[in-house]
Amino acid sequence: SYANSLANQAAAQKQQDQASLAAASSSAASSLAALQSQQASSYAAASQSANVKIDSLNAQRTSGQPADTVSDGGTFDYVAKNGLWTNVVTHRDSGKTWNGNYLVQNLPVFKDPNAASMMDNLYTQSNENVPSWSLGDVVNNNQLTDAQKNELNQYAMMLVNNYRKSMGLAPISTTQDFLNKVQQRGDSLKSGHMLHNPSLTSQIFGHGMDETLTSVDFSAYTMYSKDHTTMLEVFQGVAEAMNGLINYDGDSDNGHRNILLGDDNTTGFSLQYNTTDNVWVMNSNGDGYIYQGVNIATVPAQTSTPSTGQDNNKEIDQKIQTVKGNLQSLKNSQDQTYQTQKLSLNNAVQQLADQFASQEAQAEKDNNSKIQAF
């Protein structure tokens, strides 16, 4: 009877302990749920506020660019007429505040053909935000239109003639008939490997010709717009290739440089996609003849002043990143607070469970001693 009485008392105490432990666990869960709800509400409000700020910042973007759009073959004329030349040409200019334009007007000039260093490579301006005005002049199916072929020649010839002018050399020109022959030579480079073919060029032009060949890679400029490569991006690749032909031609004994800065009076450029090597190939052909016809390698005069508004996309992106960073910091802080509170409550419940278990074990030990003494 005495043993049963002690056992009943222990069972009642254990039941009471279990009820207390269940209540503590329930209270901890409720506390965590309340914290989680409060945090969710707080984060939702902060997220909504952040989205409003981001929308407002995006609305403040300016490119300093005209608002209209060019058409097929119109990029070069548009840039020239609006004076949309980049002020960041080489890596030496990377510290300048970029004016938001992409095309190089003048390559770095060196009278010493071996003087260019790595810092004189053209600075790659990533086109995260391709100017909307350029989207009307795109390359489809790796094939330039006739208008795009003509503007390609205009841009390449401008780079050569601006370089020649800086060197005190006379300009060179292109007639339409001559460019047609250059493009005929270019058509022969659409398959096979990029090799000179003097017999073919003599057949096309009727006599021997100077020739330069180079690959043109504009992939660095089109990583954000592979589905709609613009002529603006093509020209960026052309400028880089031209810089290589003239300023970094030591491995070819400056043969390409000597041709482009030599005694030729007529030259033309053609760009085409080679399906054998999957690469764009640009050829130039030229000689000392002066051909009859109008010079089409001209640069339109600037007729308008570029917008004084600077491209602020980088600044806006930084501000948006700050807003997103603050929101993420709030989320991280909430997660840390939740985990700390969860750990604290779990520890408290576990301590209570350990306390009850210890008390129950001691009570059982005491009861055994009492029964033995009895």
pLDDT reported for residue 63: 62
Check whether residue 307 and residue 322 sit in a common domain: no
Check whether residue 186 and residue 106 sit in a common domain: yes
- 352 within a domain of the structure (yes/no): yes
Check whether residue 9 and residue 107 sit in a common domain: no
Check whether residue 231 and residue 152 sit in a common domain: yes
Check whether residue 181 and residue 81 sit in a common domain: yes
- 68 within a domain of the structure (yes/no): no
pTM of the model: 0.66
- 342 within a domain of the structure (yes/no): yes
Check whether residue 136 and residue 109 sit in a common domain: yes
pLDDT digits (tens, 9 = 90+) for 24-41: 888 888 999 999 999 999
User: What strand order describes the sheet that includes 266-274?
Assistant: 210-216, 279-287, 266-274
Check whether residue 277 and residue 350 sit in a common domain: no
- 70 within a domain of the structure (yes/no): no
Per-residue pLDDT of the chain (374 residues; tens, 9 = 90+): 777 887 788 788 888 888 888 888 888 889 999 999 999 999 999 999 999 999 998 888 766 555 578 999 999 999 999 999 999 899 999 888 888 889 999 999 999 998 888 888 888 766 666 787 888 999 999 999 999 999 999 999 999 999 999 999 999 999 999 999 999 999 999 999 999 999 999 999 999 999 999 999 988 776 655 567 899 999 999 999 999 999 999 889 999 999 999 999 999 999 999 999 999 999 999 999 999 999 999 999 999 876 555 667 778 888 899 999 999 999 999 999 999 999 988 888 888 888 888 888 887 787 788 778 76
- 350 within a domain of the structure (yes/no): yes
Check whether residue 270 and residue 357 sit in a common domain: no
State both tokens at 116.
Answer: 């260019």
Check whether residue 89 and residue 53 sit in a common domain: no
Domain coverage including residue 52: 2-60+318-373
- 306 within a domain of the structure (yes/no): yes
Distance of alpha carbon 141 from alpha carbon 135, whole angstroms: 16
How many structural domains compose the chain?
2
- 65 within a domain of the structure (yes/no): no
Task: Identify any residues that bridge with 280 across adjacent strands, giving them in sequence order.
Answer: 216, 273
Check whether residue 205 and residue 332 sit in a common domain: no
Residue that finishes a domain, picked among 263, 296, 311: 311
**Residues in CB range of 151: below 8 A, 6 or more apart:** 73, 74, 75, 76, 77, 231
Instruction: Evaluate whether 160 touches 260 at the Cβ level (below 8 Å).
Output: yes
Check whether residue 97 and residue 173 sit in a common domain: yes
Residue that finishes a domain, picked among 311, 331, 351: 311
Check whether residue 114 and residue 11 sit in a common domain: no
pLDDT reported for residue 234: 95
Residue that finishes a domain, picked among 292, 311, 330: 311
CATH number, position 164: 3.40.33.10
- 69 within a domain of the structure (yes/no): no
Distance of alpha carbon 84 from alpha carbon 107, whole angstroms: 15
pLDDT reported for residue 65: 56
